[in-house]
Copies of this chain bind each other. A is one copy, B any other.
Amino acid sequence: MALRHAVLAALLDGEFSGYQLTKIFDVGVSDFWYATPQQLYAELAKMETDGLLTGRRVVQRGRPDKRVFTVTGAGLAELAAFAAAPAKPLLIRDDLIVKVHACDLLAPGPLIAQLQERAAEAAAKLELFGKMLLRLRGELEEEEFLRRGERVGPYLTCLGGLRLERQMHEWCLQTARTLSERAVRDGTAQDESAQQEKGALS
């Protein structure tokens, strides 16, 4: 029961449909959670049954109708109870870090490529978060907004996401550089036979 709290938090920013929430959770906005569409549709149905949300049908022209959800009083109470309870420890699961951990026994080529790819993704998110921060604080300066803004929650999490992506970007590039240099030292990165001798597995 943890996705539901993320959904409640997301719905504080406005009314959203299941589809809109899939977009929000797919990007993992501000890196605060991730969920698949199937999870969301199922959870939304359950939450409505449990009285935490109310759905409202919105007729659209040119597009299929959608049902947007609003947090109820019971939903807010659930969120408050969640906030008061001790937080579970941060959960991270990352294939890439596992691969780097094992990098001394692996072919360096694919790993370096994946690190650079991840760095590029991080850079894209950095830009996104930067724009988001601008949008959220409007005309105010950051300090001013954090002191007197009405809704700073999304801004603070976005700042966290920005920091995370910045450090991810740097780490990936630095790690890729280190592995490249070592590959060169061992007899050029693309030379497969040289790596076989060193014990790398294709």
Residues of A within 8 A of B (CB): 2, 5-6, 8-10, 12, 28, 30-34, 76-77, 79-80, 82-84, 86-107, 110-111, 114, 118, 121, 146-148, 150-154, 156-157, 159-160, 163-164, 167-168, 170-171, 174-175, 178, 181-182, 185, 201-202
Q: Which of B84, B87, B121, B167 contacts A107 (CB 8 A)?
A: B84
**With A91-B93, A146-B178 as given contacts, are A99 and B82 in contact (CB-CB < 8 Å)?**
yes
A7 to B99, CA, bound (A): 11
Please name all residues of chain B whose beta carbon is closer than 8 Å to the beta carbon of A175 when the two chains form the complex.
Answer: 156, 159-160
A90 to B172, CA, bound (A): 13
CB distance from A131 to the nearest CB of B (A): 18
Please name all residues of chain B whose beta carbon is closer than 8 Å to the beta carbon of A94 when the two chains form the complex.
Answer: 32-33, 87, 90-91
**With A9-B102, A157-B100, A171-B159 as given contacts, are A93 and B178 in contact (CB-CB < 8 Å)?**
no
At the interface, is chain A mostly helix, strand, loop or mixed? Answer: helix
CB distance from A65 to the nearest CB of B (A): 29
Q: Which of B92, B174, B182 contacts A147 (CB 8 A)?
A: B182
A105 to B175, CA, bound (A): 41
A6, A118, A156, A181 — which one has the most chain B CB atoms within 10 A of its CB?
A156
Please name all residues of chain B whose beta carbon is closer than 8 Å to the beta carbon of A153 when the two chains form the complex.
Answer: 100-104
A167 to B163, CA, bound (A): 7
CB distance from A3 to the nearest CB of B (A): 9
Please name all residues of chain B whose beta carbon is closer than 8 Å to the beta carbon of A99 when the two chains form the complex.
Answer: 9, 82-83, 87
Please name all residues of chain B whose beta carbon is closer than 8 Å to the beta carbon of A163 when the two chains form the complex.
Answer: 167, 170-171
A84 to B109, CA, bound (A): 9
